[in-house]
A and B are shown apart, each in its own frame.
Chain A
Amino acid sequence: MGQFIGKRLLRGLLTIFVTMVVVFLLIRMAPGDPASILAGSMDTDEAFVESLREEWGLDEPILKQFTVYVKNLVTGNLGYSYQYLTHGKPNQPVISLILQRLPRTFILAASVIIFSILIAIPLGTICAMKPGSWFDNLTFSIQMTITSIPNFYIGMILIALLAVKWKLLPTGGYGDFNSFIMPMLCLSFRYIVTFTRTTRTELGQILNSDYLRTAKAKGLSRTVVLFKHGLRNVLIPIVTMIGTRLGGLLTGAVYVETLFRYYGVGELLISAISARDYPTIQAVIPYIAAVFVIVNLAVDMSYFALDPRIRKK
Chain B
Amino acid sequence: MESQNTLKVLLDVKNLTTRFFTDDGIVLAVDNVSFQLMEGEILGIVGESGSGKSVTSMSTMRLIPIPPGEITEGQVLLKGRDVLKCSEKEMQDIRGNEIAMIFQEPMTALNPVYTIGAQIIEAIRQHSKMGKAKARERAIDLLKLVGIPAPEKRVDDYPHQLSGGMRQRVIIAIALAGNPSILIADEPTTALDVTIQAQILRLIREIKETQNKSVMLITHDLGVIAQTCDRVIVMYGAEIVEQSPVRPLYKNPLHPYTEGLLSSIPKMDEDVERLNVIEGMVPNPLALPAGCRFCSRCKKAQERCKAEKPTLREAAPGRLVACHYPCEVQTDE
Contacts and interface: CB of A to CB of B under 8 A. Distances in A.
B96 A219 contact: yes
Contacts of A208: 65
A229 B123 CA distance: 13
Interface in A283-309: 306-309
Contacts of A213: 63, 103, 109
Interface string A30-73: 00000000000000000000000000000000000000000000
B59 interface: no
A90 interface: no
B178 A219 contact: yes
Nearest to A209: B108
Contact of B112 (A131, A132, A218, A233): A233
Contacts of A219: 91-97, 123, 126-127, 178
A235 to B, nearest CB: 9
Which residue of A208, A219, A222, A232 has the most chain B CB atoms within 10 A of its CB atom? Answer: A219
B103 A210 contact: yes
A8 interface: no
B161 A312 contact: yes
Contacts of A221: 89, 92
Which residue of B101, B109, B113 has the most chain A CB atoms within 10 A of its CB atom? Answer: B113
B111 interface: yes
A211 B112 contact: yes
Contacts of B111: 211-212, 214-215, 229, 233
Given A218-B96, A219-B94, A211 B160 contact: no
B158 interface: yes
Contact of A217 (B63, B88, B158): B63
B169 to A, nearest CB: 14
A236 B97 CA distance: 32
Nearest to B99: A217
Given A219-B97, A233-B112, A214 B174 contact: yes
B326 to A, nearest CB: 37
**A: contact size bracket:** 20 to 34
Given A232-B113, A306-B113, A307-B113, A214 B93 contact: no
Interface of A is mostly: helix
A276 interface: no
A88 B91 CA distance: 80
A132 B174 CA distance: 33
A232 B105 CA distance: 21
Nearest to A235: B113
Contact of A308 (B105, B113, B171, B174): B113
Contacts of B158: 308-309, 312
A261 interface: no
Nearest to B180: A219
A220 interface: yes
Contact of A210 (B91, B96, B105, B175): B105
B182 to A, nearest CB: 12
Nearest to A132: B67
Nearest to B108: A210
B110 interface: yes
A104 interface: no
Contacts of A214: 101, 103, 109-111, 119, 171, 174
Given A218-B126, A308-B113, 19 more contacts: A210-B103, A211-B110, A211-B111, A214-B110, A214-B174, A217-B175, A218-B100, A218-B177, A219-B91, A219-B96, A219-B178, A222-B88, A233-B111, A306-B113, A307-B112, A307-B113, A308-B158, A309-B160, A312-B158
